Structure 1
Amino acid sequence: MTLTMTIPDSLAASIGSAVDEVHRRFIEGYAVQAYRSGTFSTAEIRELLGHASRWETEDFLAAHGAWPDPSASEVMEDLNNLRALGAA
């Protein structure tokens, strides 16, 4: 898919002068929002951004504050696993 955007010249300068830089900033911003909203999974973000590994995608999401908080059940599971390790 190819998208065309019109950005006012007065704002374009603050975004960046290189077309590739502007494109990358917009696609990364979209990726972060798509992940936060649940539209894309980490695998889809990896494909969208062309990351070489899952870890690169996780680092990208963490750097943009988009890494999900654990659910209550995940926290409880971790707690139970730690308790089981302490009892062993």
Structure 2
Amino acid sequence: MGIQGLIVFLLIGAVAGWLAGVIMKGYGFGLIGNIVVGIVGAFIAGLVLPMVGVSIGGGILGSIIHATIGAVILLFIVGLVRRA
């Protein structure tokens, strides 16, 4: 992966983490936290979505949607753990 790929990877993670924070209302972790949430969310979505038969198109927009869905799942689980 070149420097351009790394920058795109981090930007997609940041946007997905921010969108997940907006969707879940109240989960803002700052720039670095949002990047981490977005990247971990993309990993979670990569595991979960194919199991349920969901396929999202390619490209940057598809990657952002994919990572956002996973990040929302991650924030939902974090919210459940915090309540317990």
Flag whether TM exceeds 0.5 (same fold).
Answer: no
- Structure-1-length-normalised TM-score: 0.28
Q: Between Structure 1 and Structure 2, whose CA radius of gyration is higher?
A: 1
Higher relative helix content: 2
The higher relative CO (CA closer than 8 Å, separation ≥ 6) is in 2
- Structure-2-length-normalised TM-score: 0.29
